[in-house]
Amino acid sequence: MKARSLMISLAVVLAGSLAGGLLGGSTLATGDKLDDSLKTLGQILSIVEDRYVDEVPTDTLVYNAIRGMLRTLDPHTNFLDEESYRDMQEEQRGAFYGLGIVINKRGKDKPLTVISPIDGTPAARLGIRAGDVISHIRDKSASIDIDTLGLEIRDAVKYLRGPKGTEVTITVERAGFDKPLEFTISRDTVPTSSVTNAYMIQPGTGYIKVINFTQNTADELDRALETLHSQGMQRLVLDLRGNPGGLLDQAVKVADRFLESGKMIVYTRGRVRGSDQEYHASHRTEGERFPLIVLVNRGSASASEIVAGALQDHDRALIVGETTFGKGLVQSVFRLSRQTGLALTTAKYYTPSGRLIQRDYSSLEEYFSDLDEDDPPSLEAQGQTSRTDGGRTVYGGGGISPDRKVPSEETPRMLAELLRQNAFFDYAVRYTAQHPSLTAEAASDPVHAEGFRRRFNPDDSLLNGFKTYLKEKAIAVDEGEFGKVAARVKTLIKAEIIGIAGGLTYRDRVLLEEDPQVHAALDSFEQAQALAERSTLAAPSPAAAR
């Protein structure tokens, strides 16, 4: 749980820096006290540089001093060094220049492995496959030739990305091939989609997964809705679980798609001029009227909470899952020198009914350690209540509390250990190499990949093969415990096989079939239908912002 909470916290902190967009900084006048403080800081830096036992780069000292200062303000005000600032800009744009592969590794001495090529990218066009192990990277333009063993993922990404049109050669080891393969790839634009899955999860029921909010999110959502409507969609599950947020204007546009024109979506309040803003629906006069369910969890933050809060306050959607993160601080990003930036909190978010999204952060340790709790502090217990348009009671004090609470599924210890060792993916790589005809059609296009997902139902021979694989790798498992989780083991292996054949989109669809929160959502459309009918008649809520 500690690792999970850290991942969520880091994602939310980074996404928070995107919420305000890029703003120009201004020159500030300094008074005598500030001049004296800066003089003291300069003296300390000089002494450390001259006298400290080890040599320390000046940039390291200055940047850490800045971070220490900002840490006294709030969890989401951050200094963005050159790399972080560049990453933020790429995420905002929704694209970068590279090869088009998702990579991972499971430990310092583990190989750098391709999890999936991205459709339509240079890597996919040249035939890079899921499961390929990257042993060497050679960038001729930078005269770099490295062995990837021991290389951290972040460093590997630096070498794989680069200016558009430049070439990089990668050497891969592939299951079923005796000799390594070399691919010389010209870097090109790699889109990073916000909408990673959109399909008919049941007859008449659409499903859309949004993983963040970038410049392209609303447009991607429009295309997904149009496609699902053409396939007969009558109701929708909008999955915002694990979505750490992003651009405020995109959150407003996404909520706008489902609300009547004029309805408030969110408002902000701050200390400086211009920080008090109200955002209303304006995209359409009617909005999408079908029954809507929004899935959230503890990893849903910031822009995700804006969308969920607005749709809940206007009785437009049923919220299902777990209480969200509670990140309601607005960051404006100021460009600094040397391609660095300052993500500074300038306001707070409030839902249309006046609920404060941000939870208490007086103790930063508790702010992040709360994520470790299986049953976090209840918003209902805080006594901060508001009313939706239709008169339902909703709760404030931090985060969005779901209308129907459904905890995420616990992962048994044995499964967690097998996942940690990458056993399911590694076995799936072997399986697909041994059955090339089985997966060849699925790799050809999305229609065949979806067909393969629906047809492929392996029998117990798959489990027997997996057990043999575990013995070969000296991975010990308890037979009794294995029997208890055999069904989930089969699902996880099936998902990885389909992912290798057709891509991550189809792997995730397999996992959704066994997802208890998704099942709860699909069972809740009677309530969502009632809300959709109620929201048509309800008057606008008397928000505190007005």
Q: Name the residue among 206, 265, 193 with its Cα closest to residue 232.
A: 206
CA dihedral of residues 48, 49, 55, 57 (deg, nearest 10) = 110
Q: Give the phi and the psi of residue 209 in degrees, each rounded to 5.
A: -105, 125
Q: Tell me if residue 465 falls in helix, strand or coil.
A: helix
Q: Left, alpha or beta for 398 (phi > 0: left; psi -120 to 50: alpha)?
A: left
Q: Name the residue among 75, 22, 3, 512 with its Cα closest to residue 325.
A: 75
DSSP letter for each residue of 293-339: EEEE-TT--THHHHHHHHHHHTT-SEEEES------EEEEEEE-GGG
Q: Which residue's structure tokens are 């616990």?
A: 410
Q: Give the phi and the psi of residue 436 in degrees, each rounded to 5.
A: -60, -35
Contact 488, 514 (CB under 8 A): yes
Give me the residues paired with residue 191 across strands.
95
What type of residue is 517?
A: Q
Find the farthest-apart pair of alpha carbons in the chain and give their distance in angstroms, rounded: 78
315 vs 352: CA distance, rounded Å: 11
What type of residue is 502?
A: G
Residues contacting 190, CB < 8 A, separation 6+: 95, 96, 97, 98, 99, 100, 118, 121
DSSP letter for each residue of 381-398: GGT-EEE-TTS-EEE-SS
Contact 508, 241 (CB under 8 A): no
**What residues are labeled active site?**
302, 313, 327
Q: Name the residue among 244, 243, 231 with its Cα closest to residue 450.
A: 231
Q: Give the phi and the psi of residue 80 in degrees, each rounded to 5.
A: -105, 110
